[in-house]
A and B are shown apart, each in its own frame.
Chain A
Amino acid sequence: MRRRTLILGGAGLAGAFGFTLGLGAWRSGDLQGSAPDATAANSRADLSRMAWRLIDDRGAPVGPQDWLGRASMVFFGFTWCPDVCPTTLMDIADWLEGLGPDADRIGIAMITVDPQRDSPAVLAEYLSNFDPRIRGLTGTPDAVATAAAAFGVTYARVPQSDGDYTMNHTSGVFVFQPSGELASVIDFHEERRFAVPKIRRAIG
């Protein structure tokens, strides 16, 4: 464990330099290596062929077929996450702004990887701080696992030293065409100038 911390610390050093030089360099440098793999692993994701049932933050049941007929953006996260999730939610808000009126032609959902803490009510309270068009989805641990597997998403619980825990999880945003076919995956920290055209193509 100690050795692992040291290795990660080394990676952190590289990260720190990237930050110093500017986020742009860090974004393209660090993420390009992982992006094709992440995309390839999920390239066959298709909402029309998925089978999962979750509950949204208003308590309504939701399945993948409910999203067909209009483009959709889906990502996995959890509300106990202090850094990645607020950033992703703000990135999405930024993309929606970039889309202008087209933003109303796409559905957006965050599926929690932490159903134990993220009940519909908790999701609703948290997401109310962000764009009102973003729905939160949760369910039983099994239902969430089924959904994650359909997207090729991985997640894992990581215990913290205070007895609490955090979650590792696939961080990209999946963009689906109205047919349910995957159009693209937008990586964490992808620049708006790349993200917005990807979404626009999916909307059609």
Chain B
Amino acid sequence: MKAFALAFGYAMVLPTLALAECPGVTAGELTVSKAWSRVTIGTQRPAVFYVEIRNDGQTDDRLIGIETSAAGMPMLHQTVIKDGVASMPHAAAVEIPAGQTVSLAPGGYHGMLMDLTRPLVEGESFPVTLTFEQAGAVEIETRILPIRAQEAQCDAER
């Protein structure tokens, strides 16, 4: 009975914790939030990383890299459609202009997580460190959503 109560307690607490992650983390004038990825089938396919970055400052910044223990080779990429053909060039940096919010989102900029160290399992999360030219490094927990997910599953925005 006690075990049941404990399990029930966790079930209640976990979603709350997950939601609490959504407001994001700050570094200087930047707020990083809504970090999410999709479930992977095994470790062979590259996984994806999406996030939202808000720059409340007066100075432009740039996202210049991502790191994570979940992948041996995480890189910034961008989906580009030219003459109807989709390609995914490596993006050296993503500009985060002063006063603006930039999203890594389906169909545009995204982190491509190659050489996964383990399969990404729905409901779990993993840390990703974003490195900005001005603001430095910021770590955020990235939620693993179903393969069908198209956006972060949280609307909590401070």
Contact = CB atoms under 8 A, between A and B. Distances in A.
A104 to B, nearest CB: 20
Nearest to A82: B48
A12 B78 CA distance: 7
B93 interface: yes
A178 interface: no
A49 to B, nearest CB: 21
Interface in A166-204: 166, 168-172, 185, 187-189
B90 A82 contact: no
Main secondary structure, interface of A, reads helix
A64 interface: no
Interface in B83-132: 83-95, 97, 100-103, 105-110, 112-115
A20 B94 contact: no
Nearest to A31: B81
B47 interface: yes
Contacts of B101: 20
A83 B79 contact: yes
Contacts of B69: none
B149 to A, nearest CB: 8
B107 A83 contact: yes
B45 A19 contact: no
Contacts of B110: 82-83
Nearest to B37: A82
A189 B89 CA distance: 18
Contact of B83 (A26, A37, A84): A37
A158 B89 CA distance: 9
Nearest to A160: B114
Interface of B: 38-39, 41, 44-48, 72-73, 77-95, 97, 100-103, 105-110, 112-115, 146-148, 150
Given A79-B45, A82-B113, 7 more contacts: A16-B94, A16-B95, A20-B102, A26-B108, A34-B81, A80-B45, A130-B147
7 contacts: A5-B90, A9-B93, A84-B86, A86-B106, A87-B107, A158-B88, A164-B114
